Structure 1
Amino acid sequence: MILRALQTLLLLLCVSACAAAPAPRPLLTDYTHTAWTELDGAPSGVTKFAQGPDGWLWIATPTGLYRFDGVRFERADTVHGQPLQSSNLMALTTTPDGAVWVGYRIGGISVFRADGATHYGASAGLRLSGVMHLEAAPDGALWAAMRDGVAVLPKGARRFRYLGREVGLPENGIFQILFARDGTTWIGTNKGAWFRRQGETRFTQAWPRKTLVSLCEAPDGTIWGNDFAKGYYRVHTVAPPAGTADTPELAGISMRYDRGGTMWVTQTDRVERVLDPGTPAAPDQRLDALNGISGPMIGATFQDREGNLWIGTSRGIDRLRPNRLRTLPAPRQLEYPALVAGPEGDIWVGDYAADLWRYGLDGPLRREPTGALTAGYTAPDGVVWLGGTENLLRRGVDGTWSAIAYPVAAHAMRVHALQQDCDGALWVAFSTGRQLYKLAGDRWLQGGGVTGLPDLLTTSMARDADGNVWMAHPSSTVTIVAGNAARNLGPDQGLRLGTVMTLAADGRAMWAGGENGVTLYRNGRFDVLRGERDEAFRGVSGIVRLPGGDLWLHGAAGLYRIAAPDLARWLANPGEAVPFERFDAQDGMQGHAPQLRPVPSLRRDRDGVLWFATTGTVGTIDPARILRNPLAPPVHIIGVLADGVRHAPAGNGVLALPQGTRNLQVEFTALSLSMPERVRLRYRLIGLDPAWQEASGHRQAYYTNLAPGSYRFEVIASNEDNLWNTAGATLAIDIPPTFVQSGWFKLLLAVAALLLLSTAYALRIRFITQRMQERLQERLTERTRIARALHDTLLQSIQSLLLSFDAHTRRLQEGTPERNRLDQTLNLAERLLVEGRDQIMALRASSSPEVLELTLGQFGKGLAAHRPHAFDMRILGTPRQLQADVHEEIYVIAREALFNASHYADAASIELELDYGDTAFVLRIRDDGCGIDEAVAAAGHRPGHFGLIGMRERAACIGAALAIVSRSGVGTEITVTVPSGKAYAS
């Protein structure tokens, strides 16, 4: 008891002895410093910077003009395709119309516009002396500070005019021109500063009456002037009171105010941020060789349209970019700082090896209890609990502190987490799994009297809406303590975070962050939060959900913001990847979120400002006032390489490339000078690319094996705030075809291909036809041989036999049974003979005229050999091949007519005539016999015979006309006429 009383007394003495922190001072670490040297391609010895509406940062040096897009420095020997008159540049400015004005050290001024350039020299009224400064007036005129006077080019004029003694100005030694916000024109010279108020016609010298070559206007309208001897004075338009000391108020060689109203002063070897003009800049407000400035000698300074400060040195160029994240100063270097929610909604900051301080937005305000701190907790009733190295400290609502000794078993351990349950008892987790206690009153209960607790380290604790205490552990384990029972959650419920480092209640749900990401427990399951571009949100040890719905995470890779609408969509569909915004080292974060303790590493104060702790610093960001870049980056196509030959983009946006161009490289850029690393570029070649291509890590597009045609290249870009310039830049590209790529050549190829195919097809058909004809001819020859053999032997013998029988039959008396029976037998034999001849005719399968002549001739001769009549055959005209069906029917008709004439006409002579006329084919058969009996002619056939009827039917089948002329005792003539269109094969 005595020991505890002494500890409490010492603690109270320490608290009462705490001194207030020194006045806070923002650090230069509120800016990100980047240095480029000549090794990076940066120019040195900069005399002027300028930036036009196209976004290029123009840089004038004694050795030439350069431009910078945030990534690459490029020497510009020409502007808009027009050459400079000299590379020794002293003055530079741009105007709202996009014109670039340069002033040469040796004299002369040039202006470059997209449609051309104009050079001003002696013929334009300028004296050939060095141009020190160029400034565009509000009325559009251009003013030039020359070594030998002030030259003015009125808007629209072609000649400069000088202002001198007639308006009260000195005639030489002019260094600077300043147009103040109140409309006053200021001139800085080596004899002093002159001013002319708006509406006046003459200039008046200001005070002090000494050299004031460099002028600067402060936010309050104060004009500062440099005396060319490293001294700055406040310049007055009226004489100061008598006795006023004529001494400089500030040391420096040049001055600039940024858009935030901060004064920046350059010395010979450094740049200083001046917070109080009456007080020298502190070391932590300087940019010099100790913190990496590019060169030992400081030159021109400039602030671009995005708010970056540019500094030229003797060896390169530096940039100071305002950070989105503020790093707060600390009384000493912090080691694993801990954030404690103060009882009044403020933030306290403790440390393993330092004291606890009450902080404000500008830094530490007041020291609280001394000693190391590993964990802190503020209860809903305002009581503050702190886990120190020796005791548990309690600050009551009345502000008094007391110390409570740790349990003996946990005396040498560090506190990991503190949490009060719904009964008012305090859970305390120490640095081993078994050392988990609950402080109820003044008693320590190991394990809190709860069954089912895992034997794992408790890294963090939180309380849900039902008053249950949640405990985070390694091995993807979370414990829920409700009353005297514990329930463990893990991989079976979807928890796969590895070591769970922080818990944050969100209504009836609970967020958990850990090594492997972030999850949300609701409805009995953990839903894994995944970001776009495969972001896993690893190493999260701080989670805050804002009243407006935004979710903030502090992880190993930085600080994340997930907007409320995007989070709402994810809550409705947890499988989707959520958009996010990340703040990291490029935004001013130093170190990373602690990966075990102290946690949570992210808290929100009563004003809505977020506080984050890293491995060595404490910083803030106000979600309502995040520094944004409202300027979408201008996009430019800067070059085209076609088949290894460089082409400048055409001014009219159309580039005609040589015939046969196959390979194309398009170079482009987006002019965002603040964070070019976060600029996103997308491009596409309309006519080839089906969708936008993301330019990852490069600013070129490559295409190979391009076909001739008309293309359109488009490129768009966004800045670090995802603000897109959707208009972007475009370039129409025309690649004419060569002759072999032209449509005519392709048509010729197609025609040639068709000809080749048709020729090949014809040759193939001819070959196949020839082969078929050869095979058919072989078969036909064989069949003809067989038919000839059958005809010349068997049929001729049968025919002779029948004729012999017929001759014997005629000796029998007509009408007798024997004669009739024998006639019937002979008729049957004749039909069999006819069928045999038909089969032999079909076997020959030829409709050639030679075959017709041969077969009919042989048939007629065969008849004449056995009958007492002569046979003659005549061929008229040029023999031609008949159609197959015509050939067959003509053959049958002729054979029937010859047979009838031979058997029934008793003729002495039978004549066969084949007439191959041009209009018709005619078959004629004549005899000089007895003629056709009138009864037979009337009946159309002989009793028991149907030869005449068959001949008529066959003639009708082939469209032929059959005519029979017969006279008794004179003879008979049968004529078959077939029109040539039906008769001939071709």
Structure 2
Amino acid sequence: MTHLPSLRHAVALLWLLAALLPARAAPGPVPADYTHTAWGSLQGAPVDVLKFAQGPDGWLWIATATGLYRYDGVRFERSDSVHGHRLYSSNVLGLLAARDGALWVGYRLGGVTALRPDGARTYMEADGLPGGAVFHIAEAPDGTVWVAARDGVAALRPGASRFEPQGESVGLPARRMFQILFARDGTQWVAALGGAFFRPPGAARFTQAWPRTTLMAMAEGPDGAIWASDDQSRYYRLHTSAPAQAPRPEYTASGMHFDRAGQMWLLHPDAVERAGAPAAQRLTLQSGLSGALPQTFFQDREGSIWIGTSAGLDRLRPNRLRALATPRHFDHPGMIAGPDGSVWIGDYAGHVASYTADGTGKPVLRSGFAAAHRAPDGTYWIGDDQSLHRRMADGTWQTVASPAGLRGLDPQALLQADDGALWASFSGGGLFRLKDGTWTRDGGLAGFPAALALTMARAADGTVWMGHARNQVSLVGRDERVRRLDARQGLQLGTVLALTPDGGTMWAGGEAGTALYRDGRFLALHGSGGETFRGVSGIVRLPGGDLWLHGADGIYRIGAAALAGWLRDPAQAVAFERFGALDGLRGHASQLRPLPSLVQAPDGQLWFATGSAIALLDPARIPRNPLPPPVLIRALTAGDRHYPVAGGAVTLPQGSDTLQIGFTALSLAMPERVRLRYRLEGVDHGWQEAVGRREAFYTNLAPGTYRFRVTAANEDGLWNEAGATLDVQIPPTFVQTPWFVVLLTLGGAALLFAAYTLRMRHVTRRLAERMQERMHERLAERSRIARSLHDTLLQAVQGLIMSFHAHVRQLPAGTRERERLDLALDRADRLLVEGRDQIMDLRASAPPPDLAEALREFAAGLAEPAAQAFEMTVTGLRQPLRPQVSEELQAIAREALCNAGRYAQAERIVLEVDYGSAAFTLRVHDDGCGLDAAVAQAGGRPGHWGLVGMRERAAAIGATLRMASGPGQGTALEVTLPAARAYGVAEQRGDAESATESEPADSWYRGQQR
């Protein structure tokens, strides 16, 4: 079915032809294969930029009339000093970064300073330097530094201390020297007020070149030609000999420069122009130039171009992705590889053209481009909202009408099956198959999803695959049966946007990710860092094994080795490389149509379509940055104080425990992708990634020596493994030294020992108190039992004995019965006495805490069954006696009281206790029968050990015991003990004991009787 071309198509063809004509129209916008960035005062950048320079350290130095600045890719910094050495002036004009690392700074009002890490020197007229403004500083191949100034030219040879003026003696004018240029062929050129002068290698003098007029700025072209401008901004090609015709200006510009690729750049008062084919391209104020009066040009070591203007500076960074240079913009373009090595591109404007990589195009078809397909037999299908077009084998086109009722609806996807039938999906119209000239909905088959089919592909076995919206895929086999795949087979892509066969497997891309169908299951592809590869609408697997994806977040390259590892273990995250806006991609992959958004041309280049542009990339020759970024540790702050780090080592004050370390990586091309990692050895267990910052913070650091290391990688992952290091030493305070630790340990041990001792004393005391309490309880119980026995049993027995005595007296004396009863009663009295003694011992074993009270209770119990009268006196301030002293004194007193009660037949027993300040004294005396002189002399009756025991007890506690007795005179006993031994009071009378012992016994006894 064919129809005549409509008027719309005719108009579109004329527009296409006009667009493709190779006319040199007005220059286009900024070069499409560069990314432009502008900085001004709002971004903290310097203004009125006059010169650029970049040394081996990677810093970009910027000269302005108000100071020297430097840039590391992230921030601009004003530098009043370099390497710690201050500049002579802030009005900088000349600038040179020498190969040996020195930075040469020339001043507008005269003078040059050479700044090196080990020192700085400023040269003036006294050092041979010409006076006036320093316009230019250049370094010769042999290392000689040349200066062009207002008052002449001078050279400083390597190792020299003075500049050598270069004037009329070598053929140069005396004043107004503007520029010095060393050509690639070794010729030296000088631009001056009187013209341009040159000196070939080996020559001693300069010769004036043509034209012979004032020339101010020079540039060397890729062909070796030297260009120079006059004071009217007209550029001439210089000649070393007189030309046949007078030289004429060929360009008008305020500056001419050539990049490393040989491309000419022209500076104009309001624009920067890249001259040459296919058309000049200009960066203007309207297209984003930072300011008027572009006045300097520089290409850094990574290939970026820098422009200095009156209001800021601009960077043009070469893109990895090259934009297809065409005279017009596209409106949602679609692509398909052409039969002649080109790529056919069309959009909604109503035309399709064949383009080569250099941007050359020619018309192909008068049609819009909504969907396209290239069949294995070479047939091409292209469709728009009006009809479909099929390219025949002879190169002619046949127009095929859309299914009835679908005119005005765009085709979404097209695919020619092995049997020659065409499958077509229409947006809003459904799925159809054209076979034998007839359209049939769903191809007459059942089982298709109702959702739109957005993409189609043919598998290796001829199966037709269709990717639908709502997470569905349908397959049509050779047997005309429809099979559906969905989440039950692991499909989790949402809308399916791309299907690409890969041997016996099928790649699928969709709005939610990318997956591979293998062995009846979809395997989701996951990238490192949580990447899901979403919105992929273009997939290409290269013969070498690399996988390329074009999605919503950019272009992805998954290397063959990484992909092979993922195929072995689909659970692992795959490493990938991303290309995006920083690489020159403008827009994102189509999420509806035309599809696919990625095709590979026959020459191997990859073509990527976005909403308004086509980008190209040769996967075999991806532009790479071969320079690892220099790494610099910029600053160290501790305790709000900044410390210099130039020497690579810093010693901080004692007690420092916090650090803030600033560092940077000097990569200017794509600083957004520079990776920085650092570690503080001894603190960090591994490398720390510095994401979005160039500082490291540490707190609670202990004294010691630390090494801080930082490394960086450029945008291509090339690491500077050496990086930069800084040794930081934090001396300890006294309390942080090992000696303090030792002292603290010893002190802690002493405290623990003291605590242990106190605890043991407390436990011992408490244990003794508890034992004493229990003993008192037991002894109190024994006293209670003794009293109970005394008050009940003994008294009852004594009453019974007395009753028997009364009855016995009724018997006649001398009778046998009386004698037997008297003997029995005598034995009963002895038993009663023995029982009373036992009870008294029982009571005596439980003394009260106070000695006097204990003896009072003992004596009272002793006197109860007898007729003796007991008296007791206590004098002095009562004090607790030492336990052993109290025990021995109680034993002595009990023995004395028992003897007085049992044997003295006394009517009165007296107990005296004297708590003296110098000595403790205990006395017991009675008015009984006393002792025989022989008994007293012998120390007691034979077989009785009472007196002996008392003396031994007294000697054990250091007491003095004296006893006096006589027949019919009673007995007196005295025990004296020094206060210090009795209750710990220092003796107040040192010889009290000896004085007492020297007193005669009989006088003491008489005193007792009185």
Same-fold call, TM > 0.5? yes
What's the counterpart of residue 649 of structure 1?
A: 644
Partner of 1:489: 485
Post-superposition Cα deviations, 1:353-385, rounded to whole Å, max 9, x if no partner, equal 232212211114322122212111111222222
CA spacing shift, 1:774–1:20, aligned 2, 3 Å: closer
- Do structure 1's residue 246 and structure 2's residue 241 form an aligned pair? no
Matched, 1:511 2:514: no
2 CA distance for matches of 1:262 and 1:144? 28
The answer to whether structure 1 residue 205 and structure 2 residue 208 are counterparts is yes
Shift of 1:495: 2.3
> Equivalent residue for 1:968?
none
Q: Which residue of 2 aligns with 1:265?
A: 266
Output the CA distance in 1 between the equivalents of 2:575 and 2:762: 72
> Residues 723 and 6 from structure 1, CA distance in 2 versus in 1: closer, same or farther, beyond 3 angstroms?
closer
1:144 lines up with 2:147 in the alignment: yes
Return closer, same or farther for 1:264/1:852 CA change in 2, 3 Å cut-off: same
CA distance, structure 2, for counterparts of residue 169 and residue 467 of structure 1: 81
Measured in 2, the distance between the counterparts of 1:97 and 1:270 equals: 35
1:91–1:104 contact (8 Å) kept in structure 2: yes
| Corresponding position of 1:457 | 452
Hey, what does 1:378 align to over in structure 2? 374
Shift of 1:70: 2.2
Counterparts of 1:448 and 1:859, CA distance in 2? 132
Q: Is the counterpart of residue 326 in structure 1 residue 329 in structure 2? A: no
Q: What's the CA shift string for 1:486-544, capped at 9, x where partnerless?
A: 12222233323222111112233222212222222223332322333333322221111
Determine helix, strand or coil for the equivalent of 1:448: helix
Count of aligned pairs: 936
What residue is the counterpart of 1:574 in the other structure?
Answer: 570
Q: Deviations over 1:878-913 (max 9, x none)?
A: 9996778x9989989998999899999999xx9x9x
Q: Which amino acid aligns with 1:180?
A: A
Query: Counterpart of 2:65 in structure 1: which amino acid?
Result: P
Moved more, 65-74 or 612-621: 65-74
2:786/2:840 contact within 8 Å kept: no
Matched to 1:334, the amino acid is F
- The one-letter amino acid of 1:566's match is A
Paired residue type of 2:109: I
SS at match of 2:286: helix
Displacement after TM superposition at 1:687 (Å): 6.3
Map of 1:478 onto structure 2: 473
Paired position in structure 1 for 2:399: 403
SS at match of 1:435: strand
C-alpha separation in 2, matches of 1:77 and 1:230? 34
TM-score normalised to the size of structure 1?
0.80
Which of 523-532 and 136-145 deviates more?
523-532
Q: Secondary structure at the match of 1:630?
A: coil
Secondary structure of the structure 2 residue equivalent to 1:310: strand
**Counterpart Cα distance in 2 of 1:587 and 1:331:** 22
Q: Hey, what's the Cα distance between the residues in 2 that align with 1:687 and 1:820?
A: 104
**Alpha-carbon displacement from aligned partner over 1:680-723 (angstroms, at most 9, x marks no partner):** 33445566666555444344445677777766554443322233
Instruction: State how far apart, in whole Å, the 1-side matches of 2:46 and 2:898 are.
Output: 123
Structure 1 counterpart of 2:191, one-letter code: G
Alignment of 1:314-463 (within 5 A): 314-432=310-428, 434-437=430-433, 439-463=434-458
Bigger drift between 107-116 and 670-679 goes to: 670-679
Corresponding position: 1:718 with 2:707: no
Separation of aligned partners in 1, 2:104 and 2:147:
10
Alignment match, 2:190: 187
In structure 2, give the amino acid aligned to 1:100.
L
Q: Is the 8 A contact 2:345 2:355 kept in 1?
A: yes
Structure 1 unaligned runs (5+)?
873-877, 915-924, 932-936, 942-946, 959-982
For normalisation by structure 2, the TM-score amounts to 0.78
Q: Partner letter of residue 369 of structure 1?
A: L
The DSSP-based 3-state class of the residue aligned with 2:399 is strand
Contact 1:863 1:902 in 2 (8 A): no
| Among 661, 665, 683, the residue aligned to 1:670 | 665
What aligned pairs does 1:716-865 form with structure 2 within 5 A after superposition?
716-733=711-728, 787=783, 794=790, 798=794, 833=836, 836-844=839-847
Asked if 2 retains the 8 angstrom alpha-carbon contact of 1:432 and 1:456, the reply is: no
Q: What corresponds to 1:119 in structure 2? A: 122
SS in 2 for 1:471: strand
- Matched residue type, 1:250: Y
C-alpha separation between the residues in 1 aligned to 2:708 and 2:347?
56
Decide which moves more: 534-543 or 615-624.
534-543
When residues 14 and 732 of structure 1 are mapped into structure 2, their CA distance, relative to the original with a 3 A threshold, is closer
| 1:681 corresponds to | 676
Mapping of 1:53-132 within 5 angstroms?
53-132=56-135
Q: Residue 105 and residue 412 in structure 1: after superposition, are their counterparts in 2 closer, same or farther (change >3 A)?
A: closer
Aligned with residue 288 of structure 1, among 240, 262, 284: 284
Rounded to whole Å, the distance in 1 between the matches of 2:892 and 2:805 is 28
Aligned 8 A contact 1:684 1:714 in 2: yes
Deviation, structure 1 residue 164: 2.8
Are the counterparts in 2 of residues 18 and 368 from structure 1 also a CA contact under 8 Å? no
Contact 2:111–2:129, Cα closer than 8 Å, also in 1: yes
Contact kept, 8 Å, 1:435 with 1:446, in 2: the verdict is yes
SS at match of 1:527: strand
User: What is residue 40 of structure 1 aligned with on the other side?
Assistant: 43
Report the alpha carbon displacement of residue 66 of structure 1 after superposing the two structures with TM.
1.2
Distance apart, 1:159 and its partner CA: 1.2
Q: Deviations over 1:158-202 (max 9, x none)?
A: 111122333333333322222233333332223333333334433
Asked whether the 8 Å contact 2:554–2:579 carries over to 1, the reply is: yes
Q: How far does the alpha carbon of each residue in 1:299-334 deviate from its partner, in whole angstroms, 9 at most, with x for none?
A: 011111111111111111111111111111235331
The aligned residue for residue 1007 of structure 2 is: none
Q: 1:845 to 1:476 in 2, by over 3 A?
A: farther
Rounded Cα–Cα distance in structure 1 between residues aligned with 2:551 and 2:777? 100
Q: CA 1:726 to 1:826, structure 2 compared with 1: closer, same or farther past 3 Å?
A: farther
Query: Relative to structure 1, is the Cα distance of residues 18 and 381 closer, same or farther in structure 2, using a 3 angstrom cutoff?
Result: farther
SS at match of 2:790: helix
CA distance in 2 between partners of 1:798 and 1:141 (Å): 135
**Is the Cα contact below 8 Å between 1:61 and 1:90 reproduced in 2?**
yes
Question: What CA deviation, in whole Å up to 9, does each residue of 1:3-44 have, x standing for no partner?
Answer: 65999xx99x989x9899445999711111111122222222
Q: CA RMSD in A?
A: 5.7
Alignment of structure 1 residues 588-599 onto 2, 5 Å: 588-599=584-595
Equivalent position SS for 2:843: helix
Deviates more, 1:176-185 or 1:581-590: 176-185
Give the SS at the match of 1:844.
coil
Q: Is the 8 A contact 1:228 1:253 kept in 2?
A: no
State the secondary structure of the residue aligned to 2:361.
Answer: strand
Aligned to 1:339, the other structure's residue is in SS state strand
Amino acid across the alignment from 2:716: D
Which has the larger displacement, 607-616 or 695-704?
A: 695-704
Alignment partner of 1:587 out of 551, 575, 583: 583
1:298 aligned onto 2:283:
no
Q: Give 1:297 deviation, angstroms.
A: 0.9
2:993 matched to which residue of 1? none
Residues 791 and 837 in structure 1, CA contact (< 8 A), matched pair in contact too: no
Separation in 1, partners of 2:23, 2:323: 12
Deviation per CA, 1:335-358, whole angstroms, max 9, x where unpaired?
111111223454211222232212
